[in-house]
Amino acid sequence: MDITLMGSWEQLTVTDRRDAIMELEYSMKALEGEQGIEIEPVEYHCNGVYAREIRIPKGTALVGEIHLQDQINVVSQGVIRVFTEEGVRTIKAPSTFISPAGTKRAGYVIEDTVWTVFHGTTKTSEEEIRKEFIAPDYHSLDKQLEHTK
């Protein structure tokens, strides 16, 4: 799918938006070794709450994970334009919001941005937390969401 020929984001179907985000992610991973930057998260654990904070430099394009559960997000610094299957949104700090389960974002950082995601869990290893909260793809997400209904 050539996203440059698809028209505006709002005119796309949910499936086309998902496909476009996944295509962007695959393209970015192919270039990662040549042009990618490493964004090291800072993790916090406190009384059954897990927080994952990332600091993203201006000019960075990135694609996030597919989350299996609703999550609290805090953008405490910066401005970022995000594309999801629900639409396009420019988020300016300070901003706190809840993302529904199944959200996957592609973003472009307009100003250096600090973004923190919060989850309730007693797990402390990154591997266990990823299994609990991250879907590897939309097919797995859809199966998981059907199972929880």
Q: Kindly list the domain boundaries of the chain, sorted by start residue.
A: 3-148
Q: What is the CATH number of domain 3-148?
A: 2.60.120.10
Q: Which residue has the tokens 């984001």?
A: 9
What are the pLDDT tens digits along the chain (149 aa)?
A: 444 444 588 888 888 888 888 888 878 777 766 666 889 999 999 999 999 999 999 999 999 999 889 999 999 999 999 998 888 999 999 999 999 988 999 999 999 999 999 999 999 888 899 888 988 877 777 777 666 65
Torsion angle defined by CA atoms of residues 141, 146, 148 and 149, in that order, rounded to the nearest 10 degrees: 140
Instruction: Identify the bridge partners of residue 68 per DSSP, sorted by sequence position.
Output: none
- Distance, CA of 30 to CA of 24 (rounded, Å): 10
Q: What is the pLDDT of residue 50?
A: 95
Alpha-carbon torsion (108, 67, 100, 73), positive or negative = negative
If residue 77 lies in a helix (H) or strand (E), which one and from where to where?
A: strand 71-84
| Of 114, 89, 108, 109, the residue nearest 99 (C-alpha) | 89
Residue 5 burial by CB count (10 A; 0-12/13-18/19+): exposed, middle or buried?
exposed
pLDDT at 33: 64
Residue 72: its pLDDT value, please?
97
**How high is the pLDDT of residue 137?**
78
Burial (CB count within 10 angstroms: exposed 0-12, middle 13-18, buried 19+), residue 17? buried
Helix intervals (H) in 10-149: 14-35, 126-133, 138-148
